[in-house]
Amino acid sequence: MSEAAPGSLSTYFIASRCSWPASQYRKAIPIVSLLLILLAACSPPAPPPAHPSLDKPNATQTPARAPSPTAEPTQPPAAAASPIPTHTTAPSRTPVPSLTPISTEKAACETETTFRVEGGQRLYLGEGLLIDLSEEAPNSLGLGAIRYSPTCERFLLIVVGVEGDDRAFLFSADGSGKTEITGEGDKIRESTVTWAPDGSALVYERINTCLTCASPAPTAPPEGLVRYNVGTGDKTILLGERMVNTLQWSPDGSWIAYSHGIDPPIFILDAAESGFWKLEGDERCYGLRWVWEIPQQTMSLLCSVEIGPPRSILQIEADAAQPPAPPAEKVSYQVVGAEEDGGLPVFTAPREGSPEAGMIPPDGVDILVTGAGAPVGNVLWVPVIYGELSGWVDSSYLAVQL
């Protein structure tokens, strides 16, 4: 090894890989060197350095303009709040550090002025502040949907409650005229809100208690479906029903269809006089929608079925006094929760302590409600007929007879 040229890569390679005598190392060096030269000659040439632009420059291209001498700001400007997307999924009731984008129900009502949120708490329409949750609803989960009236003259803003007891604020389309239509013991279930076709009223399901409350407060109004008159602010309870779904107002404003889920029956409610019917049928309905039948001037109620196109389950003339029977039949009620040794007392007036007209047995059925209810405190009194007996009863002791 002492005869090898010091520092020679060729000598080191051969000495480390071959067992030849040291006298043969120098003889192999010229051969290895020749092989290295041949390998280098056969290798492909290195690619030329890349041009900074992949596109061939245009001969007529205008030279880039020199930057403006205007001084740049030392700090970047604060980012503006992003406009709220038009359509999003309903916000979760799980608290989140920043606001879930608001969903607006009617894109046709929107203008160039957009909704935006700052800090997850303040909602603006353009530059106008609509609500600051930190001041007006500090215990809420955040902002819910914005529901425009069909005429685009107003919109309803939902503030999501902790226990499903949502609050609702009514605005004119330009953000003025702010009015809260909910109150203590009078909260709203957001998914049930539906506008009358002319925008003069809306219907919602009232929640008058909370999950941790043993019972409603004595001053709380009765629960059920409520019609709110936009012009006067008056509220009329249409029905003492809870947990309704798919509320749909008919195009002429006369009828409201709803269900308690996808299973039958479907119910039809007179939007003005509280008449109440159910539709016969045994097919599941995954959604309800009213449509005009032109030129017959009748309205059809369509049911979205599991397979196939929507099916018409009811047709009503525009000026009809009640739905046709069949398929609609007047809803009957039965007694629930009454004392076994007594029954359900029927009074001559809608209040406790008025003279009794008679008693409906605890298992009474085929009870007809004949008109609109009368709320007194948190009790909804309804006029009924049971056989030859008529008068007023506490509606919390009645259930739809299926």
Q: Which domains does the chain have, with CATH numbers?
A: 9-40 (no CATH), 107-330 (2.120.10), 333-400 (2.30.30)
Report which of 190, 138, 147, 197 is spatially closest to residue 170, judged by C-alpha positions: 147
DSSP state of 396: G
User: 94 CB contacts (<8 Å, ≥6 apart)?
Assistant: 141
Rounded to an integer, what distance in angstroms lies between the CA atom of residue 275 and that of residue 286? 24
C-alpha span between 42 and 24 (Å, rounded): 28
In this predicted structure, what is the pLDDT of residue 42?
Answer: 53
Note every long-range contact of 27-30, with CB atoms under 8 Å and residues 24 or more positions apart, other chains counting: 29/5
pLDDT of the chain, 402 residues: tens digit per residue: 444 444 443 433 333 444 444 444 445 555 545 555 555 555 555 544 444 333 333 434 444 444 444 444 444 444 444 333 333 333 333 333 333 345 455 446 766 668 999 988 999 998 999 999 999 998 888 999 999 999 999 999 999 987 767 899 999 999 999 999 998 888 888 888 899 999 999 999 888 876 666 677 777 788 888 899 999 999 988 877 677 777 899 999 999 998 888 888 888 988 877 678 888 777 888 889 999 987 778 999 999 988 889 989 899 988 888 888 777 777 888 999 888 888 999 999 988 888 999 999 999 999 988 777 888 887 889 888 898 899 999 988 988 887
Report the SS3 class of residue 26. helix
Identity of the amino acid at 136: E
- Which of these, 189, 185, 204, lies nearest to 144 by C-alpha position? 189
* Listed residue (198, 194, 320, 309) closest to 257, CA to CA: 194
Contacts for 204 with CB less than 8 Å, ≥ 6 apart: 168, 188, 189, 192, 193, 194, 225, 226, 228
Q: Which residues of 251-280 are buried (b: 16+ CB within 10 A; e: fewer)?
A: ebbbbbbbbbebebbbbbbbbeebbbbbbe
Q: What is the reported pLDDT for 371?
A: 75
CB 324 within 8 A of CB 316: yes
Name the burial class of residue 393, with classes exposed (0-12), middle (13-18) and buried (19+) by CB atoms within 10 angstroms of its CB: buried
Provide the 3-class DSSP secondary structure of residue 135: helix
pLDDT at 50: 44
Beta-carbon contacts of 196 under 8 Å, excluding residues fewer than 6 positions away, are 150, 202, 203, 249, 253, 271
348-358 burial string, b = 16+ CB within 10 Å, else e?
A: eebeeeeeebb
Find the length of the chain: 402
Q: What is the pLDDT of residue 43?
A: 53
Say which DSSP state 159 is in: E
Distance CA 208, CA 32 (A): 97
CA triple 165-169-173, angle to 5 deg: 145
Q: Which two tokens stand for residue 48?
A: 């030329």
> What is the three-class DSSP state of 130?
strand
Q: Evaluate the CA torsion angle 27, 30, 36, 42 in order and state its sign.
A: negative
Angle ∠(214,216,218) on CA atoms, nearest 5: 120
Is residue 114 within 8 Å of residue 123, measured between CB atoms?
no
Sheet holding 142-148, edge to edge: 142-148, 154-160, 167-172, 179-180
Q: Which pTM value belongs to this model?
A: 0.63
Instruction: List the beta bridge partners of residue 188.
Output: 166, 206
